[in-house]
Amino acid sequence: MSQTERDYSQFIAGDFYTQRMEKGPDDRTMILNMGPQHPSTHGVLRIIIEIDGEYIVRAEPVLGYLHRMHEKMAEVKTYLQYMPNMGRVDYLHALAWNWAYVGAVERLAGIEVSERAEYIRVITTELNRITSHLVWWGTFLLDLGAFTPILYAFEDRERILDLLQIPTGSRLTYCYFRPGGVAADITQDFVNGVRAFVPYMRSRLPMYRDLVTDNIILRQRLERIGVIPVEACRRYGATGPVLRGSGVAYDVRRTEPYSIYKTLDFEIPTDKEGDSMGRYKVRMAEMEQSLRIIEQAVERLPEGPYLVKGAPKFRWKAPAGETYFAVEGARGKIGVHLLSDGSNKPYRCKLRSPSFSNMSLFSEVARGVLIADAVAILGSLDLVIPEIDR
């Protein structure tokens, strides 16, 4: 083996940089690995950081440790066989990915969805959005050194999971939506549970604010840290709370309305500061808006079928053509681009992951910050690594 090959094999094994820790590219700097096992990355993400003292000179994310070939798997599965994959791309907001995929299939084939199914999709997806934000809230604060909030977050999240388990049969990697509707109807117990949960969760949000949001320690860790200009968001394609935290009210539910969202009354929270605290406040406000959406959808829930007649079956063949469908996920814009050759399997499926674009900002934002602040910035982006290594 040549010296070049040995160096490359050491790089793949993660030893290349650690052997040069004593001296970086500059005599004053040092190279360190943050991850892939670092607890604050919440997944198999590796970030190579070059530091001068405790300040970051350069940060380079390294992906590919969790690549599961989701897009390639679409080419060897039927349209319905591929549905369980969607719950495993972003496991925290699995129902948004469910919706993006079935929406693309429905648009490709011209399938109409029953009105009741549209309301059920909105209710369950918004409940799932709150669970995603609660996991982010608890783990983010845990990264910053606060243990108590994650106990409150998971207590409230369990209440939602108990509800979502009734129609879906699952608690995390949901596979509930179907082209033409949903897999099962919701019950009166589910509806009653949702009606009871909305005021309960509203009563918890002021406690979250008093305990954490207004805490001076948290504010000093997040305010003016990791400021992301709007122009940087546009260059990298950042969406979701990251973009809205920089003052742009872009939300697919409003700008590219789908389903019944255009008939519902809710606001798009933004923050003009563009820092880690701004992104934090946007997500906290979004939980209240999701409760508003759920409340309206439950009250207007119509009767009717939960799945249209003639909905695609196991070996259903889609018409030839291509389509794109986007939804608003907890991390931003989720897109599914389908290309069909007329067979019972997609010819090509391209997944648009918001975490990939949002994470790409980190290299630029992390320059010149303290290592401790890098953890705060990374957490404020709310990355789900399996969504990136898709």
pLDDT tens across the length of the chain (390 residues): 555 445 444 444 444 444 444 455 567 899 999 888 777 777 788 999 999 999 999 999 998 888 889 999 999 999 999 999 999 999 999 999 999 999 999 999 999 999 999 999 999 999 999 999 999 999 999 999 999 999 999 999 999 999 999 999 999 999 999 999 999 999 999 999 999 999 999 999 999 999 999 999 999 999 999 999 999 999 999 999 999 999 999 999 999 999 999 999 999 999 999 999 999 999 999 999 999 999 999 999 999 999 999 999 988 999 999 999 999 999 999 999 999 999 999 999 999 999 999 999 999 999 999 999 999 999 999 999 889 988
For residues 68 and 63, give the distance between their C-alpha atoms in angstroms, rounded to a whole number.
Answer: 12
In a domain, 54, yes or no: no
Give the contacts of 190 (CB within 8 A, at least 6 positions apart).
163, 166, 167
Print the domain residue range for 261. Answer: 70-360
CATH number at residue 305: 1.10.645.10
In a domain, 286, yes or no: yes
In a domain, 63, yes or no: no
In a domain, 23, yes or no: no
- Domains: count for the chain: 1
> Quick count: other Cβ atoms within 10 Å of Cβ 43?
17
In a domain, 107, yes or no: yes
250-264 burial string, b = 16+ CB within 10 Å, else e? Answer: bbbbeeeebbbbeeb
Q: 10 to each of 15, 20, 60, 137, how far by Cα in Å? A: 5, 12, 18, 37
In a domain, 277, yes or no: yes
In a domain, 33, yes or no: no
In a domain, 291, yes or no: yes
pTM of the model: 0.92
